[in-house]
Amino acid sequence: MIISSRTEEDCRSACAQLNERSTSTNSAVTHEEVAARYVVGDCSSRSGCEALADEVSNLTGGCLDVLVNNAGCAWGEDLNRESGRMNWGWDKVLDLNVKAPFYLSRSCLPMLTKDKDSISRIINIGSVAGIVPQEAPTHAYDTSKAAIHHLTKKLSADFAPRGITVNCVAPGFVPTRMSKGLGNYASMEKLANMSPLGRLGEEEDMVGPVVFFSSRAGEWCTGVIMNVDGGVVGGMRIPLESLDQ
């Protein structure tokens, strides 16, 4: 496993957590067999994606089984506000949320391409906000996630002849450093109550779908957008009572 982030401190911390978890849950393997490694990189530009792919290729001997495009950011500004940062905000979000998965997937293509008996996987991380817009001024973010869903479908057809599946996990509301900004518009309690299952998402909720798409069980799935949101989208209903008021 190789992870990447912009700072060495974040990479080192994440690797330590992953390695501790792996060895504590599976005593039958050695540390060397499960050790996560990292490459410091910046995916916000095409050159950064290409440099990251080159580093990973050097570490893996030019072979990669699964690519998870998880880098992302959010930005929002009320339509009536004139801060002068709107172009910057849109560029930042689209560069990292849409262009980066495209450029990195493209750059990793030689490593992912296998023979017909072996399937590689690309897993993008979208959002339910790319399916149903949020009631917040996150225009760039919501648009970027709709775009990554469509890019997933587009690349699934392009990469299938190379033995590569391309799927997408679309999380609902999960407490993260990035999602804290939603607290300006609704409390975490209210966001939890939106879900038919009555709670916010957790780290473990994201693991299952990614493992599924990476495993033999998900080998015949490609171009799939999987909502992992506690039923926020799938269980959505038209509020008929409010129409009578």
pLDDT tens-digit profile, the chain (245 residues): 999 999 999 999 999 999 988 766 665 555 455 689 999 999 999 999 999 999 999 999 999 999 999 999 998 888 887 777 788 999 999 999 999 999 999 999 999 998 778 899 999 999 999 999 988 899 999 999 999 999 999 999 999 999 999 999 999 998 887 777 777 777 888 888 888 999 999 989 999 999 999 999 999 999 999 999 999 999 888 778 766 66
Q: Which one from 38, 103, 141, 185 is the annotated catalytic residue?
A: 141
What b/e string do you get for 73-99 counting C-beta neighbours within 10 Å, with b at 16 or more? bbbbbeeeeeeeeeeebbebbbbbbbb
User: Has 38 been annotated as catalytic?
Assistant: no
Q: Give the residue extent of every domain in the chain.
A: 1-40, 65-82+113-236
Q: What are phi and psi of 221, to 5 degrees?
A: -110, 130
User: Topology of domain 65-82+113-236, per CATH?
Assistant: Rossmann fold (3.40.50)
Q: Find out whether 232 and 195 touch, Cβ atoms under 8 Å.
A: yes
Of 146, 155, 143, which Cα lies nearest the Cα of 223?
Answer: 155
pTM of the model: 0.89
